[in-house]
Amino acid sequence: MGKITTILFDYDGTLMDTDEIIIDAWQYTYRKMTGKELSVEEILESFGEPLRETMMKYFTGEPLEEAIEIHRRHQTDTYLERLEMFPGMRELTLQLKEKGYKLAVVTSRRTPTTIMGLEKFQLMDAFDCIVTADDTVTHKPEPEPAIFAMEKLDSRPEETIMVGDTVMDIGCGQAAGVKTVMATWALAAQKDLGGMVPDYRINAAEELWSVLEALDAE
């Protein structure tokens, strides 16, 4: 193995294709609470944030806890049935594990549904560490989730990369001092990064091998 020993993966939009699941839950919740719908563009702006933080912005005049419960219940009702991984991501994860890389999930999703998804695809043993919104005080794009994962894995920033699809992921990785890789296959990856520039972009799972080779050659 070369210079990179540790890979931090985002969950939603990177490992798992949850775009439509999340959008549907937001639209259902917004209809229930306000009688209206949000635009898909507005919903995508919240991707990568913990649910409660987004709810506090969108539901200022409505009961917050009720909105959170509606959203979570609607999403969970069909979550496992609809959940799929992006092409090549399961194979990539298992290959990286076999090669000896230390792997972590670093997500703003809560623990129960994160574990449910990994268990569905028999990937719990592939990840050495799972960091969710339940584990840290601050969340992406703050560095704490990535730093927490590195501490648990006994890894240094210079040997770690962060792979994600949103400005939240790239911001978290950069703030934690690690190289960042933008995965471009989910809807949120089409959003403007606001001037933030990831170190690498990949359009397919297998392209991560080229990134690792380039970093190890530096």
Annotated catalytic residues are 10
Count of beta carbons in the 10 Å neighbourhood of residue 157: 17
Instruction: State the Cα–Cα distance between residues 216 and 97, nearest whole angstrom.
Output: 17
Output the CA torsion 200→46→109→121 (10° steps). -60
Burial classification of residue 23, based on how many CB atoms lie within 10 Å of its CB (0-12 exposed, 13-18 middle, 19 or more buried): middle
166 phi/psi in degrees, rounded to 5: -130, 165
83: its two tokens: 């959940």
